Amino acid sequence: MDLLDLTQFYPQRNTSVGSFDIIDMTDDEKKLAEQYIQSNGVHGLDNYLSRRLDVWKDQPLDIAVVGSSGVGKSTFINTMRNLMPEDPGAADVGVVETTLQPTPYQHSEYEQLKFWDLPGIGTPNYPKELYLERVQFQKYDFFLIISRTRFTENDLWLASEVKKHNKRFIFIRTNVDADLMNEYNDYPNKYNEEEILERLRNNCLNYVRTVDANADVYLVSGHLRNRLLYDFGRLNETIIRDYPTLKQESMILSMTVSCKEVLLAKIIQLKSRIWLVAGASAAVASIPVPFLSLGFDATIIIKEVEFYRQQLGLDRAALEKLAQVHRLSIEKIEKELSEVFPLQHLTALRKFVLDFCKKEAIGATTEEFARFVPYVGTMIASGISFGVCFLVLTKILARMEQAALKIIDITMEASNMAVQQQLKQFSLD
């Protein structure tokens, strides 16, 4: 198989660019780019566009995690940070040590994303009447309210206060893995996971709907190895959907790909950056020596593809971590990836991208692309770079999406198998 020939992965399409799924720049962004060109000329456009690509890193993302003592806050926070309790920097779990003040935990890869472990409502320094003020609730974009049994009066009170102040909240019911196991122990013959989850859900909804008729509840197991099970994906989807609009892009790019829902959001976000990257690549004035044979500067393309690899969890470290969490061998992952995006290409990505660019550069024409982003066609000399960049990124991203989906499928299978084994073990004990 010629791995550089990605066309085999696409349904037969008309070869014209118009048939690709192109996400054009928004009107506002077009206006901004035009304004920039009018006042500065094309000079520095690459820097301008590159800066735009990094804007998401400057948004602080603060998520509050609240709930009574021992409900699983720290465990959940670690999982959202892609950490297991033994990993360096993980929050301590299982220790009965009440949080005395709001404590931030940064995401392991994206430092702007912080989960705040908040003190319990009604603890000595945080009486109910002063709670919101003392925890400085205004600074949080979102409140995750956690329970492992029934939501308490304080949980409901907090939700209603948060709502009054036009902030978002989500009710999360952890520990469902243990609940299911107990049910299995009690009623092995009539065990039905769906039915039990439905019962748990309705039970919680009866409470939380007293605060908000539309409130939902998400049933999860807080442990990292279970994040593909139960409502974890739906929960992530809701966090993304309901995140304050201006910060949504940043939130999407700051999450670990833990489930298909996050993966999909990332793919859409990454696709929408392609015109920016292509524009920046085309605006580069001179070609550095290593890229002379290509006819354009591929630095920015390589950087973006490396960004895809990291965003989609396809770098070596992320894959090794996944293998460890789900007790899979790296060889299994390697085998599964071999038909989609072989690990050796993911590792030697720079070479792969360059070879790919070379292939795409042959026969590329500029005119087709000019019609999508008119300013590129008219203002920038290196239209060829725009076109090649656009195609290369579109195709590589599609292939990486397939690879990431494959990884999710095998980890999902491993998670389900682990649950089955646990149940079996339980019935033998």
Question: Which is closer to ligand GTP, CB of 47 or CB of 106?
Answer: 106
The binder of 71, among Mg ion, ligand GTP, none, by C-beta within 5 to 8 A per type, is ligand GTP
202-241 mask for Mg ion (x: CB under 5 A)? ----------------------------------------
CB of 47 to ligand GTP, least distance (A): 44
User: By CB under 5 A, is residue 174 in contact with Mg ion?
Assistant: no
Residue whose Cβ sits closest to ligand GTP: 72
CB of 125 to Mg ion, least distance (A): 17
Segment lying near Mg ion (by CB under 5 A), choices 3-11, 52-60, 68-76, 206-214? 68-76
The residue from 61, 65, 67, 74 that contacts Mg ion (CB under 5 A) is 74
Question: Which is closer to ligand GTP, CB of 59 or CB of 411?
Answer: 411
CB of 409 to ligand GTP, least distance (A): 23
CB of 362 to ligand GTP, least distance (A): 54
CB of 194 to ligand GTP, least distance (A): 19
Residues in contact with ligand GTP by CB under 6 A are 69-75, 93-94, 96-99, 174-175, 177-178, 221-223
The binder of 70, among ligand GTP, Mg ion, none, by C-beta within 5 to 8 A per type, is ligand GTP
Three-state SS letters, the chain: CCCCCHHHHCCCCCCCHHHCCCCCCCHHHHHHHHHHHHHHCCCCHHHHHHHHHHHHHHCCEEEEEECCCCCCHHHHHHHHCCCCCCCCCCCCCCCCCCCCCCEEEECCCCCCEEEEECCCCCECCECHHHHHHHCCHHHCCEEEEEECCCCCHHHHHHHHHHHHCCCEEEEEECCHHHHHHHHHHHCHHHCCHHHHHHHHHHHHHHHHCCCCCCCCEEECCCCHHHCCCCCHHHHHHHHHHHCCHHHHHHHHHCCCCCCHHHHHHHHHHHHHHHHHHHHHHHHCCCCCHHHCCCCCCCHHHHHHHHHHHHHCCCCHHHHHHHHHHCCCCHHHHHHHHCCCCCHHHHHCHHHHHHHHHHHHHCCCCCHHHHCCCHHHHHHCCCHHHHHHHHHHHHHHHHHHHHHHHHHHHHHHHHHHHHHHHHHHHHHHC
The binder of 223, among Mg ion, ligand GTP, none, by C-beta within 5 to 8 A per type, is ligand GTP
Question: Which is closer to Mg ion, CB of 67 or CB of 387?
Answer: 67
Residue whose Cβ sits closest to Mg ion: 74
CB of 76 to ligand GTP, least distance (A): 7
- Please give the residue ranges that form the binding site for Mg ion (CB under 5 A): 73-74
